[in-house]
Structure 1
Amino acid sequence: MDCSICSAMPFILRPPRNTICAACYEGARTIITLTTNKVDHVENTKGSDNKTITGLLSASSSNPSIKGFGNALKWVKEMKEMEEESKEKLNYLSGFVVALRDHIHTDILIKPGNDAPSIPAHRALLAARSDIFKNILDSDGCKAPPSNNTITLSELNYDELECLLEFLYSGDLAKEKVEKHVYSLSIAADKYEIPFLQKFCENQMLGSLNTSNALDVLEISDTCSNTSLKETALNFIVKNMEDIVFTARFDAFALKNPHLTVQITRASFIDIKNRRLTV
């Protein structure tokens, strides 16, 4: 059988990459097993991993065949150290979430728009996360005595506000919370100019884009003036017109967003025209 690895044929004439001979297959298995065992050894012998890698790199001068393997182990070790450092930083920053949850030295109240209880927060952190919040807190109203020590975010209900604050304090949010509140959080991120949250919500919407939520994503991207997200959603809708347009959801969407409906129609005609030209 011709092999895509050891064949003597020119590269362009070789068989597909998944076609290999028995000898190359066994060789690949051996390398994977050896690499896995070495990586496990490096991770389980933290006191001697530097010696292990140094020894391999030193031996490469007399045996070049193991140079690549030594470099690979060194790279794995560096990646492992970077991962551990990132985890330590996240654990360190989690103290902010504790301060929010336990109301440690809070100095401002954030009130949602559904007459739910206010949530205590910290002026300094809000100001650091958003220039809009900073301007609000610098205004005369928020510099007044404690009786006026409240900010109302009328567009958010209690759960949405709680998620917004949790993200501002931690830089992350549980998957189920993101899925439930991604649209309201995206609008809040745009209104209060929180770029990291905007990108976070955009990635979530792109990752979960399907025929049942494409219209919602298009509407949110238009509201937030997110050009790249809007273009992606619009293209997705055009590619899946039959599954999206002939639904009750589209009827309600068209009544609420006539300008977006026009854009969908135009994009669909352009797509049809381009496909005809390529035939």
Structure 2
Amino acid sequence: MTDDIVRFGSDRDARRSEDGPLLTGRGRFTDDVHVPGEAHAAFVRASVGHAEIRGLDVAAASRKPGVLGVFTGRDLAADGLGAIPPAAAFPGRGGRPMVDAPIPPLAIDRVRYVGEPLAIVVAETAAQARDAAEAVVVDLAELPAAPDVVHAMAPGAHAVWPQAPGNVAFDWTDGDAAVVDAAFARAAHVERVRLLDTRLAPSALEPRAAIGQWDPAAARYTLIASTQGVAVVRRLLAEGVFKVPPQKLRVLTYDVGGGFGMKVQAYAEYATLLYAARRLGRPVRWCAT
């Protein structure tokens, strides 16, 4: 056994420093953090899994009480923001590169999953932001959507990304195919089975939450967010979205109320909050429900 397995996997006590505050209700999670002058954000989201965006009318929402700003994907693109790149890329069969399908912080022209952010509404209070978000008029022309991998890879299936024909982003093999074929050829009995992998839907006690800040004097962004890895989030946002050196984007994470892998990624909301903070000159906070 490795030293780590002996140390952490053999009924040995692990010295922990975080238990006391968490067990006595003194934990500090992202939504417990407040910064002076903060505003509140709400997101307008896609109601279907695949559609062409025909229009987003934000005029009525912009006039709602307390609203400070309403921004769409076209606003972000006009200000030079890029898309969130994949966290990692691996060569596939024969060295073929993985399809690069970067995600815009706010959808432009097309939505590709239910709940994809279409616009951000920022207001003085969370209630005002939510009320104004309901006033955004969304015109979507629904397109065929694939509910699972089988439908997505079926002949004639609608392409989610034009650069990924057949909806295959990555084709990978490992091992020696000839050895495997020989083993099957020698086998007394061969059974063909279909394996189904269940959908994974992490449900942490603490939902995703974030606060975006912009310091004009230092020309630096600060993101306070419930993450499982500040370095990855910083790299993806700095290099992919804002196109700034990593030292110009700081990511802070306090206590995290569960993650199960879902808080590793740089999410669209994080990039959009930072953008709104820069545009409005105020910190902007948000918490999922």
Task: Please indicate the TM-score interval, normalised by the length of the shorter structure.
Answer: under 0.3
- Higher RCO, Cα 8 Å, sep 6+: 2
Q: TM-score, normalised by structure 1?
A: 0.22
Bigger radius of gyration: 1
* TM-score normalized by the length of structure 2: 0.22
